[in-house]
A and B are shown apart, each in its own frame.
Chain A
């Protein structure tokens, strides 16, 4: 469960990160591909090498979607409805991978924010990303 102050903290962090969505997103993806090579199977049709156009644009898309969800966390199901459909019927990414990506996103945030990624911020962010992933997988079955 996210408290009011946690929701505000998350919204504030993502608002600050939205302008560098490309860097944050591509960094998290690269970390995921390095630590969990199985995740690369979903990108066989793209060039996902460091700083490639595909990687940057894909990373940007993901971060902007997360940032959008962060603006009003209580409305996640509404905000993510189109993405839910896409992931359930088109992409069909095994939801275990959402956990792997979330972990790598936390690492990216830790590298980017340093000491500002406090235990409280980490906890709130972990809860938010878990909720985000759960909503994203809701239409799977």
Chain B
């Protein structure tokens, strides 16, 4: 069982209640595809991913970015049982989508950077630590059903 301090719980609830999903989701996914180009291997049918501008303006990337970010909502609402919350999604990513679980960490890092760039100095070291801890639990849960 993951133990959350009051500060960590409050920080996560606060961050996501203020989150602009329409902008942050697409920004995080497109950043991941730009900074770690090998992640594009999973999006062969998304069309033009030729350069940074193409990726950032790609409709499929934009829509999928929103889907992925909203995927975190269930973890935000179930912080005390993220592992079970994502059992099914983990199976999906391993059995059906065949995604290397290391990619979850890359996307999590990009999401951290996007949130940091939007919050500036409000994204303090302690807020960052709480956010990263939350994402680490999500990433670990998504990797659990891989065998």
Residues of A at the B interface (CB closer than 8 Å) are 27, 30-31, 33-35, 103-104, 106-107, 110-115, 117-120, 122-123, 126
Contact = CB atoms under 8 A, between A and B. Distances in A.
B34 A33 contact: no
B2 interface: no
Given A34-B129, A120-B52, A111 B123 contact: yes
A94 B55 CA distance: 36
Interface of B: 30-31, 34-35, 52, 55-56, 109, 112-114, 116-121, 123, 125-126, 128-129, 132
Contacts of A122: 31, 34-35, 113
Contacts, number: 58
12 contacts: A31-B125, A31-B128, A35-B125, A103-B109, A111-B117, A111-B121, A114-B120, A117-B113, A119-B31, A119-B56, A123-B35, A123-B52
Contacts of A110: 113-114, 116-117
Contact of B120 (A35, A111, A126): A111
A130 B19 CA distance: 30
A120 B117 CA distance: 14
A63 to B, nearest CB: 17
B117 A115 contact: yes
Contact of B128 (A35, A114, A123, A126): A35
A118 B113 CA distance: 10
A126 B112 CA distance: 14
A117 B114 CA distance: 9
B37 to A, nearest CB: 8
B75 to A, nearest CB: 19
A126 B35 CA distance: 8
B120 A107 contact: no
A35 B128 CA distance: 7
A71 B126 CA distance: 33
A27 B109 CA distance: 18
B119 A111 contact: yes
Given A110-B114, A111-B120, A122-B113, 9 more contacts: A30-B125, A31-B128, A34-B125, A34-B128, A34-B129, A35-B132, A114-B118, A117-B113, A119-B30
Given A119-B30, A122-B35, A123-B35, A107 B129 contact: no
Contacts of B30: 119
Given A34-B129, A119-B31, A111 B116 contact: yes
Given A31-B128, A107-B128, A120 B113 contact: no
